[in-house]
Amino acid sequence: MVFSSLLFMFIFLPVSLLLYYICPPGKNFRIRNALLFFISMVFYAWGEPVYFILMLFAVFINYIFAILIYKYEHKAKLLLAISIIINLSMLAFFKYSAFFVSNLNIIFGISIPVPNIVLPVGISFYTFQSMSYTIDVYRKDAPLQKNFLSFGAYVALFPQLIAGPIVRYKSVADQLIYRQHNIDKFSAGIMRFTQGFAKKVLIANNVGLIWDEVFIGNNISTMTAWLGIIAFSLQIYFDFSGYSDMAIGLGRMFGFEFCENFDYPYISKSITEFWRRWHISLGTWFKEYVYIPLGGNRKGKIRTYFNLMIVWFLTGLWHGAGWNFILWGVYFGILLIFEKLFLLRILRKIPPLFAHIYSIFIVVVSWAFFAIEDFTQMKNFLMTMFGINTISFIDSKFIFLFQNNWVLFIMSAILCTPVIKKLKSKKIFAKISPVIFMIIWITGTAFLVSDSYNPFLYFKF
């Protein structure tokens, strides 16, 4: 079940909210937390009727090990290591075993049967989230949660379960015990959810169709290739940030405040800035639990660059079991090292427009690595983008796609900037916003009813 579906919006969500608000909070919100845990399990089991057991196992393991770490301080490091090994082994088996076996077969010329394992939806998100809890308990950065159902609600909370943001326990520990509910917060949640719904259904799905049309085509022109990869760049941003907006909005409806996950990354003037704005919760997770424990920037420049490459290799691998994702991560790792070495100094001196063009160019090219898993297809597509072995600079497909979608591209580009955010501060927006959001709901629902194209890009994570 995904947020941008009629089943979720018109049945699951209203029923969940009704049950939640007629349910008494109980001491420390335990009754409502228990209900949220149950609802979240139903939500997850709806799409994963087998693997929801895996989710329960992850909750149980991290709950037990956090208690053991808290109780037996003299063995805390060993217990933490065991819990991390269990979590990562589970993630590695389900997400990377087929990738690992396939590469073994290629490297050694053997024929080990490649396991056909269906990837559990959201396993990377809930594994990282539950691991952060045990690590923070070990560090004494977060309080121990003794109530199993409340801890289960934290890990499995359906608004951010399958698509993030990755919520650290210490940021919601107090909210699990007490959270505010009022009309203003609930209304803000609806508006934020609607904003994400519009991003996903009205923009991401439609630019995604353009990318699909370009990618499946043969003998395309240079301009068609650029149009396609720009469409994918817009699709992945509006899809990812749209789901994050919906998650944050849903959280507010249930009284939670989640961290922001995207901050207009396409206005960045460096790759360093881009990664401060893109998927913020993932970047924070790798910084707190990988980069800093490795030594961060405290052990000299060479070690800092080595640590950055480790982080970006793992960031690429986290996104998917494929060499293209690793290449994508290493690509950004190298660029970030170059920026630390000298590029940032240059970017600060040149006109902001040129710094922005540099950043957008680098990021758009990177999405070719991310989107195309087959290296031969990737090479051919990149060659076409740069005018090598291409049929022409421009062709009829580009003209057709651009003429039919130029308004969508312009609107998408505008919405990548804080323009609408600034408009929201105007008094007139408050007066017309109910009409705007009603139009979004009607139009978005019509799209869902009439069109079956509603891809879930987070599936591979």
CA distance 58 to 130: 7
CA distance 75 to 77: 6
Catalytic sites, residue numbers: 319
CA distance 264 to 417: 6
CA distance 324 to 326: 5
CA distance 454 to 359: 29
Amino acid identity of 273? E
Token pair for 345: 């100094």
CA distance 417 to 241: 13
State the first-to-last Cα distance of the chain, in angstroms, to the nearest integer: 15
